[in-house]
Structure 1
Amino acid sequence: MWLRPARPRVRSTSRLFATFAAASLVPVVALGALVVQDYRRDAAEQGRAQGLAQADVIAQMVVAPALNSGEAHILGGDLSRRGLTAEQYERMRESTGLAVYRGSVQHLRLRGFTGRVIFSDDGSSSNGVPVSDPDFQAAAAGAARAKVIIGRTQTIRVMQPLFAGATGQSVGVLEVYLPYQSIADRLDHQVTQTVRRIGGGLAALYLVLALLAWWITRSLRRYAADQRHNALHDALTGLPNRVAFRAEADAVLNQARRDGETGAVVLVDLNRFKEVNDTLGHHAGDELLRVVSERFRAGLDSRDLLARLGGDEFALLLPGRTGPEAVALLEGVRDRLAEEMVLDGVPLSIEASFGIALYPEHGDHLQELTQHADVAMYQGKRGTADIVIYSGTGVAHSHQWLVVQAELRHALERDELVLHYQPKVNLPDGAVIALEALVRWEHPERGLLPPGVFLPAAEHSGLIVPLTEWVLRRALTDQLGWTAAGQSWAVSVNVSVRNLEVAGFPDLVAALLAETGTPPERLVLEVTETALAGDVERVERVLAQVAALGVGLSVDDFGAGFTSLSHLRGQPVAEIKIDRKFVADVTHDPQSRAIVRSVIELAHGLGSRVTAEGVETAEVYRWLIDAGCDEAQGYLIGRPVPWPQVDAGIFGLPGEMSEATMIEGMSR
Structure 2
Amino acid sequence: MVLLGAVMWRGYRADAAEQGRQQGLAQAAVIAEMAVAPKLGGVDMAAGLTTSQLEGMREATELAVFHGSVLRLRVRGFTGQVVFSDDGSTSGGLPVADPDFQAATAGESRVKVIGGAGHEVIRVVQPLVAGATGQSIGVLELYLPYQGIAAQLRAQLRGFAERVAGGLAALYLVLALLAGWTTRSLRRYAIRQEYQASHDVLTGLPNRAAFRSRAESVLEVAGRDGGRGAVVLVDLNRFKEVNDTLGHHAGDELLRVVAARLRAGLDDSDLLARLGGDEFAVMLPGRDREQAVAVLAGIRQLVAEELVLDGVPLSMEASFGIALYPEHGTELQELKVRADAAMYQGKRGAEDIVVFAGGTVGHPHQWLKVQAELRHALERDELVLWYQPKVGLPGAEINGVEALVRWQHPERGLLPPGEFLPAAEHSGLIAPLTEWVLRRALDDQAGWIATGQDWTLSVNISARNLESTGFVGFVGALLAATGARPDRLILEVTETALAGDVETAMRAIKELGTLGVGISVDDFGTGYTSLSHLRGLPITEIKIDRAFVADVDRDPQSQAIVRSVIDLAHGLGSRVTAEGVETLEIHRWLVEAGCDEGQGWLYGRPVPWPQVAAKVIVEPSSAPLTERAAR
TM-score, normalised relative to structure 2: 0.87
Aligned: 1:460 with 2:426 = yes
Residues 1:342 and 2:303 are matched in the alignment = no
Q: Which residue is 2:212 aligned to?
A: 246
- Which stretch shows the higher mean deviation, 517-526 or 153-162? 153-162
The 1:599–1:65 alpha-carbon spacing in structure 2 relative to 1, beyond 3 Å, is closer
Q: Aligned match of 1:104 in 63, 69, 75?
A: 69
Label 1:232 to 1:434 Cα distance change in 2 as closer, same or farther (>3 A): same
One-letter amino acid of the structure 2 residue matched with residue 292 of structure 1: V
Which residue of 2 is the match for residue 578 of structure 1? 544
Amino acid at match of 2:45: G
Partner of 2:232: 266
Match of 2:241 in 1: 275
3-state secondary structure, aligned to 2:401: strand
Query: Which of 24, 27, 44 is matched with 1:76 structurally?
Result: 44
Count matched residues.
628
Residues 140 and 615 (structure 1 numbering): CA distance in 2 closer, same or farther, change over 3 Å? Answer: closer
For 1:516 and 1:559, the matched residues in 2 are separated by: 35
The one-letter amino acid of 1:51's match is G
Q: Aligned-pair distance for 1:353?
A: 2.5
**Native 8 Å contact 1:84 1:118 kept in 2:** no
1:667 maps to 2:628? yes
Match of 1:295 in 2: 261
Aligned in 2, Cα 1:614/1:256: closer, same or farther, shift over 3 Å?
closer
| Counterpart residue type for residue 49 of structure 1 | Q
Q: Shift of residue 599 of structure 1? A: 2.0
Contact 1:352 1:386 in 2 (8 A): yes
Q: Return the alpha-carbon distance in structure 2 between the equivalents of residues 448 and 275 of structure 1.
A: 39
Partner of residue 375 from structure 1, selected from 334, 341, 350: 341
Q: Which residue does 1:10 correspond to in 2?
A: none
Q: For residue 519 of structure 1, what is the amino acid of its counterpart? A: R
1:256–1:129: structure 2 CA closer, same or farther, 3 Å change rule? Answer: farther
Return the offset for 1:606: 1.9
Question: Among 292, 312, 325, which residue is 1:326 paired with?
Answer: 292
Residue-by-residue CA offset, 1:296-326 (whole Å, 9 max, x unaligned): 2333344433333333322234444444443
| 1:177 maps to which of 143, 153, 157 | 143
2:568 aligned residue (587, 599, 602): 602
Q: Residues 591 and 316 from structure 1, CA distance in 2 versus in 1: closer, same or farther, beyond 3 angstroms?
A: closer
Give the 3 Å change call, closer, same or farther, for CA 62–294 of structure 1 in structure 2.
same
**1:20 corresponding residue in structure 2:** none
Runs of 5+ unmatched residues, structure 1: 1-24, 69-73
- The answer for the alignment partner of 1:389 in structure 2 is 355
Q: Distance in 2 between matches of 1:563 and 1:287?
A: 32
CA distance in 1, matches of 2:226, 2:556: 52
Cα 1:508/1:153, change in 2 over 3 Å: same
**Counterpart of 1:63?**
36
3-state SS of 2:490 partner: strand
Alignment of 1:109-508 (within 5 A): 109-111=74-76, 117-123=82-88, 128-150=93-115, 152-163=118-129, 165=131, 172-193=138-159, 229-254=195-220, 256-257=222-223, 261-508=227-474
Q: CA deviation at 1:451?
A: 2.7
Paired residue secondary structure (2:537): coil
Q: Which amino acid aligns with 1:146?
A: V
Contact 2:307–2:315 (CA<8 Å) still a contact in 1? yes
Residue identity in the other structure for 1:148: V
Q: Is the 8 A contact 2:129 2:138 kept in 1?
A: yes
Distance 2:226 2:234 in 1: 26
Counterpart in the other structure of 2:500 = 534
Instruction: Tell me which moved more, 545-554 or 563-572.
Output: 563-572
Report how far residue 624 of structure 1 moved. 2.8
Aligned residue type for 2:100: D
CA contact (8 A) 2:348 2:499 kept: no
Compare 495-504 and 375-384 and name the one that shifted more. Answer: 375-384
SS in 2 for 1:428: coil
Quote the Cα distance in structure 2 between the aligned partners of 1:610 and 1:67: 147
Report % sequence identity.
69
2:10 paired residue number? 37
Is the Cα contact below 8 Å between 1:241 and 1:308 reproduced in 2?
A: yes
- What whole-Å deviation, never above 9, does each CA across 1:417-440 have from its counterpart, x for those lacking one? 333333333333443332222233
> Which residue number corresponds to residue 3 of structure 1?
none
Q: How much has 1:44 moved relative to structure 2?
A: 2.5
Question: Is the 1:75–1:166 Cα contact (8 Å) retained in structure 2?
Answer: no
Distance 1:305-1:594 versus aligned 2 partners, 3 A rule: closer
Is the CA contact (8 Å cut-off) linking 1:420 and 1:440 kept in structure 2?
Answer: yes
Is the alpha carbon distance of 1:260 and 1:109 closer, same or farther for their aligned partners in structure 2, counting shifts above 3 Å?
farther
Q: Structure 2 counterpart of 1:270, which letter?
A: L
Distance 1:66 1:434 in 2: 146
Instruction: Evaluate the alpha carbon distance shift between residue 187 and residue 402 of structure 1 in structure 2; reply closer, same or farther with a 3 A threshold.
Output: closer
* Partner-residue secondary structure (3-state), 1:641: coil
Who is 1:52 aligned against? 25
- In structure 2, do the counterparts of structure 1 residues 248 and 592 end up closer, same or farther at CA, with 3 Å as the change threshold? closer
Moved more, 433-442 or 200-209: 200-209
- Whether the 8 Å CA contact 2:350–2:499 is kept in 1: the answer is no
Equivalent position amino acid for 1:611 in 2: T
Q: Aligned-pair distance for 1:443? A: 3.7
Match of 1:636, SS state, is: coil
Kept in 1: contact 2:348–2:497 (CA 8 A): no
Residue range with higher mean Cα deviation, 194-203 or 230-239 = 194-203
CA contact (8 A) 1:375 1:394 kept: no
Secondary structure of 1:667 counterpart: helix
1:6 aligned partner: none
1:45 partner amino acid:
E
- In the TM superposition, 1:541-580 aligns within 5 A as 541-580=507-546
Q: Which residue of 2 aligns with 1:90?
A: 55
Instruction: For 1:76, give the aligned amino acid.
Output: D
Q: Report SS of the residue matched to 1:108.
A: strand
Deviation at 1:200, TM superposition (A): 5.7
Report the CA distance between 1:406 and its aligned residue. Answer: 3.3
Q: Structure 2: which 5+ residue stretches go unaligned? A: none
Give the whole-Å Cα distance in 2 for the aligned partners of 1:380 and 1:76.
127
State the shift of 1:253 in Å.
Answer: 4.1
Offset of residue 54 of structure 1: 2.3
Provide the C-alpha distance between the structure 2 equivalents of 1:397 and 1:39, rounded to a whole number of angstroms. 79
Distance in 1 of aligned mates of 2:68 and 2:366: 111
Q: Which amino acid aligns with 2:55?
A: E
TM-superposed deviation, 1:53: 2.8
- For residues 484 and 106 of structure 1, the distance between their equivalents in structure 2, rounded to whole angstroms, comes to 139
Question: How far did 1:537 drift?
Answer: 1.5
Alignment partners' CA distance in 1, 2:132 and 2:407: 132
Cα deviation, 1:525-552, whole Å, max 9, x if unaligned, reads 2222222222221221111111111112
State yes or no: 1:617 paired with 2:583: yes
Question: Residue deviations 1:589-640, cap 9 Å, x none?
Answer: 2222222222222222222222233333333333333333333333333333
